[in-house]
């Protein structure tokens, strides 16, 4: 299983692939703009 992902220049390491998008939007997406769904 892949353990690292690249998204918008960040390297994200998670336990499972299904966590990537939720983790990214909760931790890296700026609060002052609308994040894509």
CA separation for the pair 35, 13 (Å, rounded):
21
Confidence (pLDDT) at 35: 59
* Residue among 3, 10, 5 at smallest CA distance from 27: 10
Is 35 in a helix, a strand, or coil? coil
Q: Report yes or no on 35 lying in a domain.
A: no
Confidence (pLDDT) at 30: 65
Per-residue pLDDT of 1-37, as tens digits, reads 567 878 788 887 766 767 777 777 877 776 666 656 5
Q: Report yes or no on 19 lying in a domain.
A: yes
**Segments forming the whole domain that contains residue 15:** 1-30
Q: Report yes or no on 6 lying in a domain.
A: yes
Q: Report yes or no on 4 lying in a domain.
A: yes
Confidence (pLDDT) at 33: 60
Confidence (pLDDT) at 9: 85
* The total number of structural domains that make up the chain: 1
Confidence (pLDDT) at 26: 79
């Amino acid at each position: 299983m892949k353990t690292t992902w690249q998204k918008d220049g960040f390297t994200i390491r998670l336990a499972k692939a299904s966590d990537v998008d939720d983790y990214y939007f909760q931790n890296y997406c700026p609060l002052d703009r609308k994040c894509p769904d």
